[in-house]
Amino acid sequence: MSRSILSSAFVLCSLLVIFAFVPLITCAGISGGKLKYSKQSIKEPQRPLLAPHFTMKWRIVASTNDNSSIPLDWHPLPPKNVKYMLGTGTTYYDWSQKAMLEVYDDYCVPIFGPLTDKINQFRCNFLNVNLTSYLISLDPSPFPKCCVFGEQVFHPPEPTFLNNMFYNSSAALFGKPVDWWVLDTDQNDPAEPFGYGFYPKDQVSGYQTPAAFWFRTVDGFSIQYFKDFEVKKPDPSVWKLPSYCVNAPSCGYL
């Protein structure tokens, strides 16, 4: 069965379970046996929306020697044989301005090269404003001090971004229930799989608290574990483009 058919079957099953309460066993069968319905609920939770504006801090765990151990299984640290680095950072988001800033306090998101190479251990900001994503290096790096990352048009994830992802599982993270949503439908997409978790029981101003975001990197996977989620508009100064970013060149990446 192809991945997309499997996914559709899974979504269909989830809908059936929610609306018609058909026998769970049938659906678990269709899902290819990967789904352990004894261990986790097959009922798909309601898709949460990202708050329209927020700030949150995070701790990042980046594995550096293993492409197969997925952060879904880490909660919160990878297994013994997997090497990793720790860091911290902050995310600011305002969908009304299609703006997002990610501040990496210790080392930039490890997607450019092996994090074990000193050259890739620079602090950075990703500033996404005006449909452009700027990579700002705060230490010497393989990039100009400010460069345009990716395609010219680039906006942060929409509050409804989970519509493009699939419910994967529920587990516990830091002692709280977490629902995981994953995109893993295209085996040729080097960015996949990636996943996003929410704490369903933990809400701020009516929005589920984001729990974590994990994604593939050059020599492994990284996960940002979120904390201090606040639903508020970030200070406008956060979106100010540094003067050295005006007419910034392309990063030559993507």
Residues that bind ligand NAG (CB under 6 A): 34-35, 65-67, 70, 72, 129-130, 168-169, 182, 184, 193, 219, 239, 241
The residues near 151 (Cβ < 8 Å, ≥ 6 apart) are 254
Contacts 24+ apart (CB under 8 A), 111-119: 111/217, 111/218, 112/142, 112/143, 112/218, 112/253, 113/142, 113/218, 114/64, 114/218, 114/219, 115/62, 115/64, 115/85, 115/217, 115/218, 115/219, 116/64, 116/65, 116/219
CB of 16 to ligand NAG, least distance (A): 16
CB of 184 to ligand NAG, least distance (A): 3
Residue 87 exposure: Cα atoms within 13 Å on the Cβ side: 24
If the CB atoms of residues 66 and 105 are measured against ligand NAG, the closer one turns out to be: 66
CB of 205 to ligand NAG, least distance (A): 26
CA 29, distance to chain mean position in Å, is: 29
Quote the tokens at residue 207: 């929005």
If the CB atoms of residues 43 and 57 are measured against ligand NAG, the closer one turns out to be: 43
CB of 7 to ligand NAG, least distance (A): 9
If the CB atoms of residues 67 and 164 are measured against ligand NAG, the closer one turns out to be: 67
- Whole-angstrom distance, CA of residue 60 vs CA of residue 40: 26
The angle at the Cα of 166, spanning 91 to 85, to the nearest 5 degrees, equals 40
CB of 206 to ligand NAG, least distance (A): 28
Quote the tokens at residue 65: 């020697």
Q: Which residue has the tokens 């059936």?
A: 16
Element of type H or E holding 161: none
CB of 159 to ligand NAG, least distance (A): 21
If the CB atoms of residues 40 and 88 are measured against ligand NAG, the closer one turns out to be: 40
If the CB atoms of residues 146 and 229 are measured against ligand NAG, the closer one turns out to be: 146
If the CB atoms of residues 36 and 227 are measured against ligand NAG, the closer one turns out to be: 36
